[in-house]
Amino acid sequence: MAWVTWQQHRAQLFVGVSLLAALAVAAIGTHIPIAAAYSHEALPYCLPPSERAGCDLLVARFQEEFGSWATVVRGLAVLPALAGLFVGAPLLAREFEHGTYRVAWTQGVTRRGWLLSKSALLALATIVVAGLTSLLVMWWREPFDALEGRMAPSAFDVEGLVVPAYAVFALAVGVLAGLVLRRTVAAMTATLVVFVAVRVLVLVFLRPRFMTARHQTVLPSATGARSTEWVLSDTLVDAGGKQVSAPRENLAILHAHQASVDPQTYVDSLGWKRIVSYQPAGRFWTFQLLEAGLFFSLALAITAVAVWLVRRTPA
Amino acid sequence: MRVLQFHLDPSSGVATYLQIVQQVKEALRLGTVEVGDQLPTVRDVVADLAINPNTVAKAYRLLESEGLVVARQGRGTFVSSTLAPPSLHHHDALRAELELWLASAIRAGLDDESIRALISATLRQARRPAAA
Amino acid sequence: MTPALSAWNLGKRFHRVWGLRHCTLTIPEGAIVGLVGPNAAGKSALLALAAGLLAPTEGSLAVLGRDPLAEPAVLAEVGFLPQGAPLYRSFTVSQATEFARRTNPRWDAEIVAGMLERLSPHTKVGTLSTGDRTQLALALVLGKWPRLLLLDEPFAGLDPFACREFLQLLMEGVALISPTVVIASHVMADIERVCDGVVLLAEGRVRLEGQVESLLESHRVLLGPRRPIGAIRGVREIVRERHSGRQLTLLVEVDGPVLDPSWVVERVSLEELLLAYISPDRLRTPKPSEGIPLQWHG
């Protein structure tokens, strides 16, 4: 089956590797000015929680200069879905559409063996390509990660172990969608919808709760402090600990203006505080393991369902 | 040694295996195959005529039962005896009988077409093995 | 000897339509059987069930003594040529051959090479004509030395020359391998040439089943003047009755010689016979299966 899988999917592998190569070239090319600016501006001395004078300005300029590239890299979060859309979904859907399953499933290889071998080999290739992409992104984002941290979703989702995990999950969803829907376009659509839905659900409801969030109380005036943590919430509370509503906050600022007093200092004097809940940067790899583990397990379960279902599919 | 080639006439009403038997016998009579010659293999006949191999096997078996060929395990089927052509003596006597019969048929009012039809039908009937 | 294919009360429903119903038949090993009938008769359904591609809705079937769904390993001994020969179009001829070689435990490269002499190994399957592609599919299916060969409408889309070429190749393969062969086709002409036995399906049911020779021997066409008919000596059952003007034509099943001088007796061709059993103007109404499988079905 290795030969068969290779013959049928080597074009896809070629595209994947070419994509990776193109990314690598772009990464290397863009990294040179970034690295130069980073060291030239002595930004290593501005890493949080440093409070050195002028750092805010330097960092802001750095982020502005290379911000567009960083945004593009964030967009790479869509890459894992491609494994599902273009490798997983057509796998079975195309066999049904072209009728070739009538040949493939009447040879000496059983249906289950056929699907299992193909899925395993394709998953392996997917992990390798996705893993290399992840390494590439991590290397490229080093200066940014140092300045902003990598716990926030914009960095977390494109680095580390989760990238191959997302890709293998998408692949499995695609295969099952192709088996059930039997039409390539429908399967691709379903794969995309499911992939996005699950990712969003995990991101919004599960990841913040992987470990208990930490809390920090800070002065209201201490806004703009840079950190590498993943801030989950930032609430303004009064001296009694009750959350301050927006109208009440606006009223206070109005009073401050009327009294010709700096609003920030005024709010501090009221005894109001900000409670920040966050996940610290040190938990990056733990969270990566947990989320990657979750998605790999989902991929395994979905593949098991597909392998079980394929024998029961009257064609 | 010439390789026999068979041809089928699907509309003749004669069973395929019998046509093969007839053609082998014809070849024997005309001397196109001689004792010791090999008949075409089942594979070759079937690849040429696109018929059931069992049909060819049946024909060869029938020829073997009549003592005309012998099947050698793994090597093919070979001619083992010839068919003596009917002697001219028989021809003369048969011809005389035929002339008498034809005179009766013409007297009965049969035209040439009817006579030929009657002869063909009767001949076909006579050649067929015991039928329903 | 286990029959190559046997079915008991086999039925398959597609949504609300029964593609096959109450199908009971036995095909002995080594037979070459024509599975004939009009379109949508259930021929493709029967073959797909035998190849393990469909699950029966009711009844059961055994292929070489085993259930193809429960024991898919039996498919290594079954050669299935689906309608349209849907090979992978992006493969070249040699890649398609390699695919078949690697997915089957038994492989005879010589047979395959012999049958594919005409085709260049680097041609893409997608660019082959229907005839060539069907021949390629046939070669690949014979290469696995199947004990049972199932061909679903192999003549579809083939011109008469390609048909003849295909049959030549098929029969040569059969002479070498001696498999049991089931050919499903609605083209009856070539069936008579090639098949020992025939199974007639119409509207999902088996209408007729038997050896070609005995079927032809046990049926006759009777021609005579149009008149009310009583029992005719030698005639067991009237299969079809047609009249035009003053002539009456009967297609009958006989159990002895018909010596009645008022009838002209003629032999019937296989095609005529099969058509008579398909057409609905039978005089007897169909009875449900009477327990023991009979030669006639409804």
User: With an 8 Å Cβ cutoff, are C91 and A98 in contact?
Assistant: no
In B4-121, where do the E strands start and end?
69-72, 76-79
CATH number for the domain whose boundaries are C5-212: 3.40.50.300
- A68: Cβ contacts below 8 Å, ≥ 6 apart: none
Q: State how far the Cα of B131 lies from the Cα of B120, in Å rounded to an integer.
A: 17
- Which of B112-121, C80-89, C238-247 is predicted most confidently? C80-89
What DSSP character marks residue A65? H
Say if residues B74 and B88 touch (Cβ distance below 8 Å): no
Residue A49 preceded by cis peptide, ω within 30: yes
Give the distance from residue B77's alpha carbon to the nearest chain C alpha carbon, in angstroms: 15
User: With an 8 Å Cβ cutoff, are C89 and A98 in contact?
Assistant: yes
Same domain? For B120 and B65 the reply is no
User: With an 8 Å Cβ cutoff, are A102 and C55 in contact?
Assistant: no
pLDDT at position A245 over 60: yes
Q: State how far the Cα of A174 lies from the Cα of A302, in Å rounded to an integer.
A: 10
Instruction: Please list, residue by residue across C218-242, b when 16 or more beta carbons sit within 10 angstroms of its beta carbon and e when fewer do.
Output: bbbbbebeeeeeeebebbeebbbbe
What is the rounded average pLDDT of the residues A16-21?
94
What is the rounded average pLDDT of the residues C177-184?
94
Burial (CB < 10 A; 0-12, 13-18, 19+), residue B123, is exposed
- A8: Cβ contacts below 8 Å, ≥ 6 apart: C88, C90
Does any CB of chain C come closer than 8 Å to the CB of residue A100?
yes
User: With an 8 Å Cβ cutoff, are B46 and C174 in contact?
Assistant: yes
Same domain? For B34 and B71 the reply is yes
| pLDDT band (50, 70, 90) for residue A229 | confident
The CA angle C212-C213-C216, to the nearest 5 degrees, is 85
State the total domains in chain B: 2
Question: What three-state secondary structure class fits C281?
Answer: coil
List chain A residues with CB under 8 Å of C98.
3, 7
ipTM rounded to 2 decimals: 0.84
C-alpha torsion B28→B31→B37→B39, nearest 10: -40
What is the rounded average pLDDT of the residues B36-64?
91
Q: How far is CA A232 from the centre of its chain?
A: 16
Q: What is the DSSP string of A152-189?
A: SHHHHTTSTTHHHHHHHHHHHHHHHHHHHH--HHHHHH
Res A160: pLDDT = 92
What is the rounded average pLDDT of the residues B35-49?
90
Say if residues A7 and C91 touch (Cβ distance below 8 Å): yes
pLDDT at position C46 over 50: yes
Place of tokens 């049972």: C148
C-alpha distances out from residue B3 to B23, B32, B50, B54, Å: 13, 9, 18, 21
Residue B8 placed within a domain: no
Same domain? For B51 and B94 the reply is no
Mean pLDDT estimate for chain A: 89
Give the distance from residue C40's alpha carbon to the nearest chain A alpha carbon, in angstroms: 17
| Neighbouring C-beta atoms of residue B47, cutoff 10 Å | 20
- B contact test, residue of C182, C192, C193, C219 with most B CBs within 10 A: C193
Residue B5 placed within a domain: no
Question: Which domain CATH number covers B21?
Answer: 1.10.10.10
Sign of CA dihedral C281, C287, C288, C291: negative
Does any CB of chain C come closer than 8 Å to the CB of residue B54?
yes
List chain A residues with CB under 8 Å of C90.
8
Q: Which two tokens stand for residue A233?
A: 């919430």
Alpha carbon distance, N-terminus to C-terminus of chain B: 41
Nearest CB among A8, A103, A311 relative to C82 is that of: A103
Res C286: pLDDT = 38
Q: Which two tokens stand for residue B123?
A: 């001949």
Give the distance from residue A305's alpha carbon to the nearest chain C alpha carbon, in angstroms: 18
Place of tokens 């193809």: C68
Chains that contact B by 3+ CB pairs under 8 Å? C
List chain C residues with CB under 8 Å of B51.
171, 193-194
Res A166: pLDDT = 97
pLDDT at position A46 over 80: no
Res C283: pLDDT = 42
| Neighbouring C-beta atoms of residue C1, cutoff 10 Å | 7
What range defines the domain where residue B28 resides?
16-79
| pLDDT band (50, 70, 90) for residue B1 | very low
Listed by start position, the domains of chain C span 5-212, 218-278
Does any CB of chain C come closer than 8 Å to the CB of residue A99?
yes
Helix (H), strand (E) at residue A289: helix A284-312
Nearest CB among A98, A110, A312 relative to C72 is that of: A110
Res C297: pLDDT = 40
| pLDDT band (50, 70, 90) for residue A167 | very high
Same domain? For B22 and B75 the reply is yes
Least confident among B23-32, B121-130, C51-60: B121-130
Q: State how far the Cα of A76 lies from the Cα of B50, in Å rounded to an integer.
A: 62
Res B88: pLDDT = 55
For chains B and C, what is the number of CB pairs under 8 angstroms?
Answer: 54
Res A81: pLDDT = 95
Does any CB of chain C come closer than 8 Å to the CB of residue B18?
no
pLDDT at position A124 over 90: yes
Res A237: pLDDT = 84
The chain C residue lying nearest B49, using CA atoms, is C168
List chain C residues with CB under 8 Å of A100.
86-88
> Using N-to-C axis directions, what is the helix angle for A2-40 and C93-102, rounded to 10°?
110
Does any CB of chain C come closer than 8 Å to the CB of residue B46?
yes
Amino acid at C211: Q
Res A228: pLDDT = 83
Nearest CB among A103, A108, A315 relative to C87 is that of: A103
Chains that contact A by 3+ CB pairs under 8 Å? C
Res C291: pLDDT = 38
C-alpha distances out from residue B32 to A29, A66, B39, B60, B84, Å: 86, 95, 12, 17, 13
What is the rounded average pLDDT of the residues C81-96?
94
Stronger pLDDT, A207 or C298, i.e. the higher one: A207
Stronger pLDDT, A36 or C140, i.e. the higher one: C140
The chain C residue lying nearest B129, using CA atoms, is C217
- B contact test, residue of C32, C171, C252 with most B CBs within 10 A: C171
Each residue's pLDDT tens digit, A251-280: 888 888 888 888 777 878 888 888 888 888
| pLDDT band (50, 70, 90) for residue A187 | very high
Phi, psi of C240 (to 5 degrees): -150, 140
| pLDDT band (50, 70, 90) for residue B85 | low
The chain C residue lying nearest B41, using CA atoms, is C175
Say if residues A8 and C87 touch (Cβ distance below 8 Å): no
Q: Which two tokens stand for residue B80?
A: 């083992």
Does any CB of chain C come closer than 8 Å to the CB of residue A117?
no
The CA angle C194-C134-C89, to the nearest 5 degrees, is 165
What is the rounded average pLDDT of the residues C16-36?
91
What is the rounded average pLDDT of the residues A100-116?
92
Q: What percent of chain C lies above the pLDDT cut of 90?
A: 51
Q: What is the pTM of this model?
A: 0.83
Alpha carbon distance, N-terminus to C-terminus of chain A: 22
Residue B11 placed within a domain: no
Residue B4 placed within a domain: no
User: With an 8 Å Cβ cutoff, are A103 and C137 in contact?
Assistant: yes
The chain C residue lying nearest A102, using CA atoms, is C82
Same domain? For B73 and B118 the reply is no
User: With an 8 Å Cβ cutoff, are C82 and A312 in contact?
Assistant: no
| pLDDT band (50, 70, 90) for residue C288 | very low
Q: State how far the Cα of C112 lies from the Cα of C277, in Å rounded to an integer.
A: 39
Least confident among A155-159, B8-12, C113-117, C278-282: C278-282
